[in-house]
């Protein structure tokens, strides 16, 4: 027995396995670095600060949404409505601003979209015990319809300070960092600490790992799911507001198919669709990874339909490597 333990220790501590230890610690960020180096050989315009700044700014929207989605996935659920929430948020923001010219009222109404949708999802998944896929799929369809019913066209002419939210930069250590990137990391750090250091976070993992066991241990599962889906909806609306600021207009179809990239970011980042496992910072890395692939394909002039195929292959590869890493652990 002692010899077997020593052999196992030698196998896991030997010099040949140190790259795997780095991968275990870094997760998807390991592949972000590896593929960044590979992609730098494919285009001379890829590996520079300006391009990476644009990649992170694009990823910031997905990363903020993936933060909330990771909470949902860890709890054993799924939310297909986040793309429609972004679209409906955009439509409400534009219409209220156009009709009242009160940007603060427009922002409050836009945030209410995500919060109300999240509450509805939480009530259906938590208290009605409806399968999350079905509950959120229904609201996904309804949200997209409401957005185009409210306004079929884009609305702009927002206040200058609001447009700066998605386009301005703040100088940090001699580099101009986009404001959405700063917001992305701030949101990630807050929820990462919240997930790791609070009983609420521990209960999310418990429900995702064994819902019946968590219920028997005294966890109020319906109330917890209501809180999780509400947070997720609020973050989706918040991301939609930042996106409207970045493009300087609102459009009812702005969130079309975003839920797929958001879910993929969470899963690539280490979240398990069966629940009980996930990393907030990994979800951010997943969003960066997806946007990085799309960026290099654009620089190489790859046709849009081929981009979807190649991106899908990379996503499957990244998920496979994450599963391999989990099984090794």
The H-assigned helical ranges of 1-48 are: 2-13, 18-26, 28-40
Q: Domains along the chain? A: 39-328 (1.10.3470)
**pLDDT computed for residue 16 by the predictor:** 47
C-beta separation of 30 from 279 below 8 A: no
* DSSP-assigned letter for residue 169: E
Sequence-distant (6+) residues with CB within 8 A of 201 are 194, 195
> Is the separation of the CB atoms in 87 and 143 below 8 Å?
yes
Q: What pLDDT was estimated at residue 196?
A: 79
Task: Quote the CA–CA distance of 233 and 117 in Å, as a whole number.
Answer: 6
For residue 152, the SS3 value is coil
What residues are paired with 177 via a beta bridge?
A: 170
* Residues contacting 52, CB < 8 A, separation 6+: none
Question: pTM of whole model > 0.75?
Answer: yes
Give the pLDDT confidence score for residue 6 in this predicted structure.
46
Tokens describing residue 60:
């910031």
Q: Are strands 169-172 and 175-178 parallel, antiparallel or unpaired?
A: antiparallel
Which pLDDT score is estimated for 4? 39
DSSP 3-state of 182:
helix
pLDDT at 195: 85
pLDDT given at position 17: 54
Given a cut of 50, the residues of the chain with pLDDT beneath it are 1-12, 14-16
**Ramachandran angles phi, psi of 171, nearest 5°:** -75, 120
Q: What is the three-class DSSP state of 129?
A: coil
Q: Which of 248, 263, 229, 250 is nearest to 88 (CA)?
A: 250
**What is the Cα–Cα distance from 58 to 275, expressed in whole angstroms?**
28
Say what the pLDDT of residue 102 is: 94
Q: Given phi > 0 = left and psi -120 to 50 = alpha, else beta, which region is 155?
A: beta
């Amino acid at each position: 027995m002692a010899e077997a333990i020593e052999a196992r220790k030698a196998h896991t501590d030997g010099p040949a396995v140190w790259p795997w230890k780095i991968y275990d610690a870094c997760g998807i960020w390991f592949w972000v670095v590896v593929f960044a180096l590979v992609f730098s050989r494919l285009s001379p315009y890829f590996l520079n600060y300006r391009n990476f700044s644009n990649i992170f700014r694009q990823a910031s929207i997905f990363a903020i949404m993936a933060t909330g989605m990771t909470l949902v996935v860890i709890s054993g659920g799924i939310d297909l409505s986040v793309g429609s929430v972004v679209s409906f948020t955009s439509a409400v923001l534009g219409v209220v601003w156009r009709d009242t010219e009160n940007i603060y009222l427009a922002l409050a109404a836009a945030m209410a979209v995500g919060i109300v949708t999240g509450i509805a999802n939480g009530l259906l998944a938590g208290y009605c015990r409806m399968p999350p896929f079905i509950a959120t799929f229904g609201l996904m369809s309804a949200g997209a319809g409401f957005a185009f019913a409210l306004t079929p066209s884009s609305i702009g002419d927002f206040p200058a300070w609001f447009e700066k939210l998605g386009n301005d930069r703040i100088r940090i250590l001699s580099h101009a960092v986009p404001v959405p990137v700063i917001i992305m990391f701030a949101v990630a750090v807050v929820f990462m600490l919240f997930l790791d250091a609070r009983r609420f976070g521990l209960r999310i993992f418990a429900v995702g790992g064994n819902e019946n066991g968590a219920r028997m241990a005294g966890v109020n599962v319906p109330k917890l799911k209501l809180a999780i889906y509400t947070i997720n909806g609020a973050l989706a609306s918040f991301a939609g507001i930042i996106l409207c600021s970045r493009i300087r207009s609102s459009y009812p179809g702005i969130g079309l198919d975003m839920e797929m990239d958001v879910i993929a970011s969470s899963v690539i980042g280490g979240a398990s669709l069966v629940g009980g496992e996930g990393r907030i910072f990994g979800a951010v890395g997943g969003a960066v990874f997806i946007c990085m692939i799309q960026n290099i394909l654009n620089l190489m002039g790859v046709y849009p339909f081929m981009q979807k195929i190649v991106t899908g292959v990379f996503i499957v590869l990244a998920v496979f490597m994450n599963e391999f890493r989990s099984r090794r652990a």
